[in-house]
């Protein structure tokens, strides 16, 4: 769960109406499982932000949000040795969130680290936040491939919420992507996660469609893996 005090989440009905008008949607069926007619579906809102729309004013606003923690938070790129801490941080961060939840394992996190970049933010020697980013080439409606920076997830330890650490790690991700020739950023927010929707909308993301993950149960859903 990620939230900002002054960020207001868009009304759910407004999001649904906009999504209905858009063409981008996809369905993911979890591999290796037998789906029945009663299998549940988990809906995420696909959000995009053109990279060139991230202007100096927004960056300055973000920097202002982290002024109290800027001198204390240290960031680094995750390595194999960080996997146990990443697992612990994810599980404690998402346990009480509205997103479909199951604990991730070291095997899950290792698979994620192999195909993405994880940036970790620590405060006072404690890992407080991480963000998962990966690059993809996605075709647009004209058939031209665009370079997309996919934000697969952000986890914030409950102890460090409402302190600006999510914004701080977001800025670190922006710096990391600056020289990657990104056309736009993309993320997916669970439809009932108001705090995350508020944070992502405040950053400038807008809904472009929906993702439906079909699985026999939440136990088969890895929120960092379906992106």
Question: Strands 145-156 and 41-50: what pairing?
Answer: unpaired
Domain coordinates of the chain in residue numbers? 12-220
| The pLDDT of residue 140 | 84
For the 12-220 domain, the top CATH level (class) is alpha beta
Residues ≥6 apart with Cβ < 8 Å to 12: 191, 192
pLDDT digits (tens, 9 = 90+) for 169-215: 999 999 999 999 999 999 999 888 888 899 899 999 999 888 887 76
Residue 177: count other Cβ atoms within 10 Å of its Cβ.
19
> Mind spelling out the 3-state secondary structure of 116-158?
CEEEEEEECCEEEEEEEEEEEEEECCCCCEEEEEEEEEEEECH
Residues ≥6 apart with Cβ < 8 Å to 187: 46, 47, 150, 151, 152, 200, 205, 227
Of the candidates 132, 138, 129, which has an alpha carbon nearest to the alpha carbon of residue 111? 132
C-beta of residue 80 within 8 angstroms of C-beta of residue 107: no
Of the candidates 220, 89, 222, which has an alpha carbon nearest to the alpha carbon of residue 156? 89
**Mean predicted confidence (pLDDT) in 42-60:** 91
Place of tokens 């439906």: 212
pLDDT digits (tens, 9 = 90+) for 139-182: 888 889 999 999 999 999 999 998 999 999 999 999 999 999 99
Q: Let me know the angle formed at the C-alpha of 184 by 178 and 185, rounded to the nearest 5 degrees.
A: 85
Determine the longest span between alpha carbons in the chain, in angstroms.
53
Asked if the model's pLDDT at residue 7 lies above 50, the reply is: no
pLDDT digits (tens, 9 = 90+) for 20-45: 445 455 655 545 455 455 666 788 89
Question: Strands 145-156 and 184-190: what pairing?
Answer: parallel
Catalogue the long-range contacts made by 109-118 (C-beta closer than 8 Å, 24 or more residues apart): 109/83, 110/80, 110/83, 111/225, 112/152, 112/224, 112/225, 113/78, 113/80, 113/83, 113/86, 116/152, 117/77, 117/78, 117/176, 118/77, 118/78, 118/82, 118/86
Q: Where does residue 93 fall: left (phi above 0), alpha (psi -120 to 50 degrees), or beta otherwise? A: alpha
């Amino acid at each position: 769960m990620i939230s900002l005090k002054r960020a207001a989440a868009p009304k759910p009905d407004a999001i649904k109406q906009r999504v209905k008008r858009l063409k981008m949607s996809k369905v993911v069926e979890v591999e290796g499982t037998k789906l029945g007619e009663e299998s549940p579906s988990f809906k995420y809102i696909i959000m995009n932000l053109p990279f060139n729309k991230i202007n100096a004013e927004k960056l300055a606003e973000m920097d202002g949000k982290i002024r109290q923690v800027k001198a204390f938070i240290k960031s680094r790129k995750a390595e194999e040795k960080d996997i146990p801490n990443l697992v612990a941080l994810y599980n404690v961060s998402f346990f009480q969130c509205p997103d479909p939840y199951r604990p991730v394992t070291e095997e899950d996190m290792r698979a994620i680290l192999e195909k993405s970049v994880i940036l970790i933010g620590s405060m006072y020697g404690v890992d407080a936040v991480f963000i998962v980013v990966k690059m993809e080439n996605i075709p647009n409606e004209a058939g031209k491939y665009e370079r997309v920076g996919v934000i697969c997830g952000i986890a914030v330890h409950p102890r460090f919420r409402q302190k600006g650490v999510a914004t701080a790690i977001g800025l670190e991700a922006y710096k990391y992507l600056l020289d990657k020739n990104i056309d736009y950023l993309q993320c997916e927010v669970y439809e009932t996660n108001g705090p995350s929707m508020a944070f992502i909308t405040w950053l400038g993301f807008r809904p472009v469609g929906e993702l439906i993950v079909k699985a026999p149960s939440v136990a088969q859903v890895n929120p960092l893996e379906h992106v």
